[in-house]
Structure 1
Amino acid sequence: MKKSISMKLIEVYLIFALVVITYSSAIPKPGEDKKNRVHEQKLSDMEHEHEGEHNPDYDHEAFLGKDEAKTFDQLTPDESKDRLGIIVGKIDKDGDGQVTEQELKDWIQYVQKRYIVTDTDRMWKDHNIEGDKLSWSAYKQRTYGSDDDPNEEDSSTFSYKDMIQRDERRWKTADKDNDGFLTKEEFADFLHPEEAEHMRDIVVKETMEDIDKDKDGFISLEEYIGDMWPDKNEEEPEWVKTERETFKTVRDKNGDGKMDLEEVKNWIMPPDYDHSEAETRHLIHESDSDKDGKLSRDEILEHYDLFVGSQATDFGEALTRHDEF
């Protein structure tokens, strides 16, 4: 299993992607590395999803949701099964005792959307909203402590120049009507660009910028491997050797020894790829003991460690929330 490093969830492509850049529960202070990449998951881990080898943490987050944390990992197996059983009842919409592929896919999509809505609501309330919109100036003031022009060397924000310019580029892309303000819906696109079609190019550019260490506009083989496996003090594991070959035969489509923007886009956002459908099929494939294409409550509980585990995020709130699924 590859180790997660600079990128924690592609929720996504997520998210996602799943994955993705996702903000923390509090506004980061200037200088914190809060916007390194859209995806919360390491790109290398996302490739497990694309190519059939799954990271258990990804399964847990896709099924349970990533916003609530630190509950299932503190439970005993019996307690985990009890809570999971309640969640299964929510997923089984028609109450026939069988979770179909569509029901499971609907649940995973619901969890993903609910996280985005909750995260956006939390962040929106933490800013100085003017009417029903947020200005760039107000956002910059709240996030960086000043709305100074970062291009001025004596500005208090000069040391954060690159971060602010990157924010502003994303801001302008999210601002559909180009009025300089973001509505709450536009702000959601700003926070979670991996979920908005018109923001996809920003995801690719930010990914490219983060991995392209020599800033030549391409991702070389060594930059690709270095982003996944930074610890060169140990013997290169087998999966790294596999990734080297994958880069040459799959990622670098034109065979020039590097990935350009289009090749990076095909890598992290493969066309016609539905992460919720892929995750659904994976979970059913791994848990469907009688191979009838559906999951019974017993099958899910029998494979509870696939759905929840030591790194699983908490979905306890789902057991008490009154919103409809």
Structure 2
Amino acid sequence: MSNNKTRMVLLLVVAIVGAAIASSIPDDLAHNPLEYDSLHNKHFDGGEHNSQFDHEAFLGPDESKKFDGLTPEESRRRLGLIVDRIDENKDGLINLSELKNWIAYTQRRYIEEDVNRVWKRNNPDNNKTINWETYQKAVYGFLEDLSPEEQEEEDNGVSYKNILKRDRFRWSTADKDLDDCLTKEEFTAFLHPEDHPSMKDLVLHETFSDLDKDKDGKISVDEYIGDMFRPSSEDDEEPEWVANEREAFSLHRDIDNDGYLNEEEVKLWITPQDFDHSETEAKHLIFEADVDHDEQLTKAEVLDKYDVFVGSQATDFGEALARHDEF
């Protein structure tokens, strides 16, 4: 994979992840734009390739967890069954189109399962819609037990009050018929705005807000870098890739050369035309495993590089079988 392509993936993921929400926040509050892409793991974290990103892109976040702890032998066995499913025309080869379709499918499956979980939790009677008052009480009812000061307290730049405000605006944006109730389709747009073209402006707004730490309406180079790299101490030297990103900010991101990124420049950065996440990831996986360089994968090539696709931590095999469902 070329440096330009890997850098594009890094930049896209970093931009859309924004500020990470603190782990202490309840699960229902921890939904961010393009959550599937972030998964709390950047593809190139700290300039180094993060293999967990590939596992989650290939399997989906939930299915990826089922492989954690399996022995290499069991990982290969289950991966072999997946390869048979990916091979749509049953010619014994995995081409770019088939792998791209599989990755897109895992993304759709994750979103659907995630929405079903949250929908059921907040709508146990399975009504056709959920109103904002019901959702707010279920998710944010705990705020009534917090003092105004506690509601304003920030952890990693995020306060409960700000999350509530953001969710209220996102809810209203997803509510197309303006009845303050969301159908399941609208609720999907609310939880995963990245998957709905009508929510793209909201994703841009939230991303820009996350990056704009000092709230001056523009993104400085330090804010740009700060979302990718945070030194552990003041004495830490920035790695070379960070210096390259500072240069990229000046030469490629800051189009009007005013030293900052405005909303239009951020939009051009995080939503490049014709960028297809599934195809980019498929090309990357083929590059990693295609030993004979014929731009397609045999089952043997995939299984030989099983760690690229699914990984394995090789813990107790009996415990792993007890924890995970069979394919």
What TM-score do you get using the length of structure 1 for normalisation? Answer: 0.79
Matches within 5 A, 1:108-187: 108-128=103-123, 131-145=127-141, 160-187=160-187
Alignment of 1:1-325 (within 5 A): 28-29=25-26, 34-35=30-31, 38-39=34-35, 41=38, 45=42, 55-128=50-123, 131-145=127-141, 160-231=160-231, 233=233, 234-309=236-311, 320=327
**Kept in 2: contact 1:124–1:184 (CA 8 A):** yes
In the alignment, is the contact (CA less than 8 A) between 1:146 and 1:157 conserved in 2? Answer: no
TM-aligned CA deviation for residue 107 of structure 1: 0.6
Q: 1:212, CA displacement in angstroms?
A: 1.0
1: distance between equivalents of 2:21 and 2:214?
A: 27
Please state how far the C-alpha of 1:108 moved relative to its aligned partner: 0.5
Of stretches 260-269 and 164-173 in structure 1, the one that deviates more from structure 2 is: 260-269
Q: 1:115 to 1:260 in 2, by over 3 A?
A: same
Contact 2:66 2:324 (8 Å CA) reproduced: no
| C-alpha spacing 1:197/1:264, structure 2 compared with 1 (3 Å) | same
Aligned to 1:3: none
CA offsets, 1:275-306, max 9 Å, x none? 10111111112211122221100011111121
Say if 2:211 and 2:223, in contact at 8 Å, map to a contact too. yes
- How far residue 94 of structure 1 moved from its aligned partner, in angstroms, is 2.4
Point out the more displaced range, 126-135 or 175-184.
Answer: 126-135
Query: What secondary structure is seen at the aligned counterpart in 1 of 2:256?
Result: coil
1:29–1:305 distance in 2 versus 1, CA, 3 Å: closer
Distance 1:36 1:130 in 2: 24
> What is the CA-CA distance between 1:79 and the residue it aligns to?
2.2
Distance 1:266 1:318, change over 3 A: farther
Aligned to 1:6: none
- Match for 1:298: what amino acid? A
Confirm or deny: 8 A CA contact 1:13 1:268 kept in the other structure: yes
CA distance change for structure 1 residues 95 and 80 in 2, over 3 Å: closer, same or farther?
same
SS of match in other structure, 2:62 = coil
Asked if the contact 1:21/1:37 (under 8 Å) is kept, the reply is no
- 1:194–1:200: 8 Å Cα contact kept in structure 2? yes
**Superposed displacement of residue 156, structure 1:** 10
How far the C-alpha of 1:12 sits from its partner, in A, is 10
In the alignment, the residues of structure 2 paired with residue 23 and residue 270 of structure 1 have an alpha-carbon distance, to the nearest angstrom, of: 25
Q: Secondary structure at the match of 1:122?
A: helix
Query: For the structure 1 residues 250 and 213, does the alpha-carbon distance in structure 2 shift closer, same or farther, using more than 3 Å as the test?
Result: same
Between the aligned partners of 2:11 and 2:109, the Cα distance in structure 1 is 16
For residue 171 of structure 1, report the CA deviation from its aligned partner.
0.6
% identical aligned pairs: 46
**How far apart, in 1, do the equivalents of 2:324 and 2:21 lie?**
20
TM-score (norm 2): 0.79
Figure out how many residues of one structure are paired with residues of the other and give that number: 300
Shift of 1:84: 1.0
Equivalent AA in structure 2 for residue 100 of structure 1: N
Q: Secondary structure of 2:227's match?
A: helix
Deviating beyond 4 angstroms after TM superposition, the runs of 4 or more aligned structure 1 residues are 10-17, 19-24, 35-38, 153-159, 316-319
User: Cα deviation per residue 1:60-110 (whole Å; 9 max; x = unaligned)?
Assistant: 111011123543231222222122111111111222211121111111011
Once the two structures are TM-superposed, the CA of residue 147 in structure 1 deviates from its matched residue by: 9.4
Deviation at 1:37, TM superposition (A): 5.3
Instruction: State whether residues 120 and 126 of structure 2, in contact with CA within 8 Å, keep that contact through their aligned partners in structure 1.
Output: no
> Which has the larger share of helix?
2
C-alpha distance 286-175 of structure 1, shift in aligned 2 (>3 A): same
Determine helix, strand or coil for the equivalent of 1:134. Answer: strand
Alpha-carbon distance between aligned partners in 2 of 1:20 and 1:195, rounded to the nearest angstrom: 17
Equivalent AA in structure 1 for residue 173 of structure 2: T
* 5+ long unaligned stretches in structure 2: 1-8, 154-159, 314-319
